[in-house]
Amino acid sequence: MPLVSDFDKYFLHLPKISQPDDFENFWQNAINELKKTPIDVQYVHNKRKSTGKFSAYDMTYIGYGKIQLFATLYIPDKVTKPHVVVLFHDYDDMESYAQFPIDLPFAYCFVELRGHRNIIHYDQEQNKYPGFMTEGIIDKDDYYVKGLYLDGLRTIDALRLHNDLDCSKIAIIGKGLGAAVAVFTASYSNRVLSLVLDTPSFCYLDKAQNIAQSVIAKEINTFIEEHRSKKSLIKKNLNYFDALQFINKVTCPVLTIVGFKDSLSPAECVFALFNHLQCDKTVEVYPEDGHSAGGLEQQKRMIEWINNSIY
C-alpha cells in the first residue's frame, strides 16, 4: 500500500513554474556572448583508451568565459559518420559513467564538468566541499552553473567540427547535475533528438534544497547560513538555473530514471521535472534503489532506448 501511495503522490505532483521576467533575455544574451568565443577544438588520439571497436581521442575546446574544457571521444572504427551520444557525469563524481557499456552504432563523448579535472576530494566530516556550486552565486552573470550549462551547447558546437561525425541527431545522457546540463542543452539545440535524465538533480530547487542530502544542497545551504543577508538574492538567482525552468522547451523523446530511495535526487523533485515534460516521455522507476538506480543494466537499456528513439 505505501508503494501505491508513493506512485500516486509522485505522478500527480505538478508544482507551478514561475520564470523571472527577464529569463529568456538573460539566456539569449548568454548564448550570444558564448558565440563570440572561438571554439579552438583539438583532438589527440589516445591509444591507451582505444578498444577493439573504438578509437579514442582526448578532446579539448574552449567554453564560456574562455575556460578550457575536456572530454574523451570514442569513434567506432567500422561505422561511417556515426551519430553521437554525449554524456555528462554528476557533480563531484567523474566516475558516474566510468564503466558505461559503449556499443555500436554510436560515437560517445564523455564530457568532464568544468573545474572537475583539478578537483580536490572533499572531507564530509569537516563539511569541506568542492565549492563550485556557490562560485559566483551572488551575481547570476558570474555563477558557475551559467558556464556549466553553456558548456553543453559548446560541446555540440565542438563535435560538429569533426568531419567523421554526423551531428544532425545527437543524444544526451546526464547523471544528477549532468542531467540538468542535458535539459538546458536540449532546450536550446534542435540537434538533440534523444535525452536521458539519469536521476536528475538541481531541479525543483524550492523543495530540493530542503530535502536533498547531496553535496550540491549542502554547499548552497552552508553558504546561505554564512551569508544570511544574501538569502533572498541567492534564491532569486537560483531561479534562473533550476532545470524545471527549461523543461517546457524540451521537445525530443525523454527517458527519465528515478530511485524512490534516492536522497541525492529526491523522487519528488525528479517527478516534478518529469510531469512537466510535454513530449514523448518514459520513466524507469526503481522503488528500492537510490542514486545508482538501475545500475549497469539500466545503462545498457539507455543505449537501446536511444537507438529506438533516433532511428
pLDDT in tens, 261-291: 999 999 999 999 999 999 999 999 999 999 9
Tell me: pLDDT of 126 over 70.
Answer: no
185-198 per-position pLDDT tens digit:
999 999 999 999 99
Residue 52 pLDDT class (50, 70, 90 cuts): confident
C-beta of residue 247 within 8 angstroms of C-beta of residue 241: no
Q: What's the pLDDT at 127?
A: 56
Residue 32 pLDDT class (50, 70, 90 cuts): very high
165-178 per-position pLDDT tens digit:
999 999 999 999 99
The span from the CA of 154 to the CA of 148, in Å, is 10
Q: What's the pLDDT at 13?
A: 79
| Average pLDDT value for residue range 29-41 | 97
Q: What's the pLDDT at 124?
A: 52
- Beta-bridged to residue 171, according to DSSP, are 85, 194
Tell me: pLDDT of 122 over 80.
Answer: no
Is the dihedral angle over the CA atoms 2, 204, 144, 222 positive or is it negative?
negative
Query: What is the bridge-based pairing of β-strands 192-198 and 254-259?
Result: parallel
Domain 2-310 bears CATH identifier 3.40.50.720: no
The three grid cell numbers given for residue 92, joined into one nine-digit string: 563531484
Residue 117 pLDDT class (50, 70, 90 cuts): confident
Kindly list the distances between the CA atom of residue 296 and the CA atoms of 22, 292, 299, 301, 308, in Å, as whole numbers in the listed order: 41, 9, 5, 9, 19
H-helix segments, 94-214: 144-160, 177-188, 205-211
Single out the residue of 185, 230, 229, 225 nearest to residue 209, CA to CA. 225
> Which of 96-100, 130-134, 136-140 is most confident?
136-140
The span from the CA of 306 to the CA of 311, in Å, is 8
Tell me: pLDDT of 118 over 90.
Answer: no
221-261 per-position pLDDT tens digit:
999 999 999 999 999 999 999 999 999 999 999 999 999 99
Q: What's the pLDDT at 1?
A: 40
Torsion, Cα of 177, 182, 183, 186 (10° steps): 170
DSSP label at residue 96: T
| Average pLDDT value for residue range 192-215 | 95
Instruction: Cell 538569502: give the residue.
Output: 231
For a pLDDT cut of 70, what percent of the chain falls above it?
95
Tell me: pLDDT of 2 over 80.
Answer: no
Q: What's the pLDDT at 5?
A: 58
Cα angle 244, 246, 250; round to 5: 115
Q: Residue ranges per domain, the chain?
A: 2-310
The three grid cell numbers given for residue 2, joined into one nine-digit string: 505505501
Average pLDDT, the chain: 93
Residue 142 pLDDT class (50, 70, 90 cuts): very high
Least confident piece of the model among 3-7, 88-92, 175-179: 3-7
Q: Given its phi and psi angles, is residue 282 left (phi above 0), alpha (psi -120 to 50 degrees) or beta?
A: beta
The three grid cell numbers given for residue 127, joined into one nine-digit string: 563539511
